[in-house]
A and B are shown apart, each in its own frame.
Chain A
Amino acid sequence: MVTRQDLTQLSDYEWQIAQSFRGDMRGPVRVFSSNALLQDILGDKSLEQAVNASTLPGLVGDVVVMPDMHQGYGFPIGGVAATRFPDGVISPGAIGYDINCGVRLLASTIELEEALPHIDRLATLLDKYCPSGVGVKGVVHVNLPELDKLMRLGADWAFQNGYAKENDLIRTEENGRLEGADPTRVSPRAKTRGLEQIGSLGAGNHFVEVDVVDEVLDPKTAGVFGLRQGCLVVQIHCGSRGLGHQVCTDYVQGFQSAVQRYHIQLPDRELVCAPMDSPEGQAYLGAMRAAANFAFVNRQLLAFSARRAFEEIFAGRLKNRQLNQVYDICHNMGKIEMHMVNGKRIQVCVHRKGATRAFGPGTPGLPAEYLQTGQPVLVPGSMGTASWVLAGTKTSMDISWGSCCHGAGRTMSRAQSRHEIRGEELRRKLESRGIKIRAGSLSGLAEEAPTAYKDVNAVVEVVVAAGIARKVAHLRPLAVVKG
Chain B
Amino acid sequence: MPFEELPHTADWCLRVWAPDLPTLFTEAARGMYSTAGIKLVETGRIQRTFFTTAPDAEGLLVGFLSELVFLLEKDHLAFDDIEVQVDVENAPPFRLSASLCDASVLTSGKAIKAVTYHNLNIHPVRQGLEVEIVFDV
Contact = CB atoms under 8 A, between A and B. Distances in A.
Nearest to A241: B113
Nearest to A260: B55
Nearest to A202: B111
B119 A443 contact: no
Interface string A465-483: 0000000000000000001
A77 interface: yes
Contacts of B74: 192-193
A443 B9 contact: no
Given A192-B74, A204-B137, A256-B59, A71 B10 contact: yes
Nearest to A483: B111
B73 interface: yes
Interface stretch (B24-32, B42-50, B62-70, B82-90): B62-70
Among B70, B109, B117, chain A packs the most CB atoms within 10 A around the CB of: B117
How many interface residues does chain A have, given as a range? 35 or more
Given A252-B117, A413-B8, A73 B136 contact: yes
A441 B110 contact: yes
A272 B6 CA distance: 24
Interface stretch (A151-159, A242-250, A358-366): A242-250
Given A203-B111, A413-B9, A441-B110, 6 more contacts: A97-B136, A193-B74, A245-B114, A245-B136, A412-B9, A415-B6
Interface string A406-417: 000011111110
Those 7 A-B pairs whose CB atoms lie nearest each other, nearest first: A73-B118, A269-B117, A413-B7, A245-B113, A73-B116, A270-B118, A70-B9
Given A134-B108, A257-B55, A71 B117 contact: no
Contacts of B5: 415
23 contacts: A70-B10, A71-B10, A73-B118, A98-B113, A134-B110, A135-B108, A192-B74, A193-B73, A193-B74, A202-B111, A245-B113, A249-B115, A252-B117, A253-B63, A270-B116, A413-B7, A413-B8, A414-B10, A414-B11, A414-B12, A443-B109, A443-B110, A444-B109
Contact of A248 (B7, B12, B114): B114
Interface in B1-38: 5-12, 37
B115 A73 contact: no
Interface string A235-272: 00000001001101100110011000000000011101
Nearest to A413: B7
A443 B108 CA distance: 11
Contacts of B73: 135, 193, 242
A391 B119 CA distance: 37
B129 interface: no
A73 B9 contact: no
B131 interface: no
B115 A444 contact: no
Contacts of A70: 9-10
Contacts of B109: 134, 441, 443-444
A97 B114 contact: yes
Nearest to A135: B76
Interface of B: 5-12, 37, 54-55, 58-59, 62-63, 66, 70, 73-74, 76, 108-111, 113-120, 134, 136-137
Among B74, B114, B137, chain A packs the most CB atoms within 10 A around the CB of: B114
A410 B9 contact: yes
Nearest to A249: B114
A193 B106 CA distance: 20
Nearest to B6: A415
Given A73-B136, A245-B136, A415-B7, A268 B111 contact: no
Contact of B111 (A77, A134, A246): A134
A189 B70 contact: yes
A284 to B, nearest CB: 15
A265 B114 CA distance: 23
B70 A193 contact: yes
Nearest to B121: A269
Contact of B137 (A189, A242, A414, A416): A414
Nearest to A49: B118
A44 interface: yes
A292 B76 CA distance: 26
A136 B10 CA distance: 22
B7 A269 contact: no
Among A73, A249, A444, A483, chain B packs the most CB atoms within 10 A around the CB of: A73
A74 interface: yes
Among B10, B62, B73, B117, chain A packs the most CB atoms within 10 A around the CB of: B10
Contacts of B114: 97, 245-246, 248-249
Interface in A64-120: 70-74, 77, 93, 96-98
Contact of A204 (B55, B111, B134): B111
A270 B113 contact: no
A163 B109 CA distance: 32
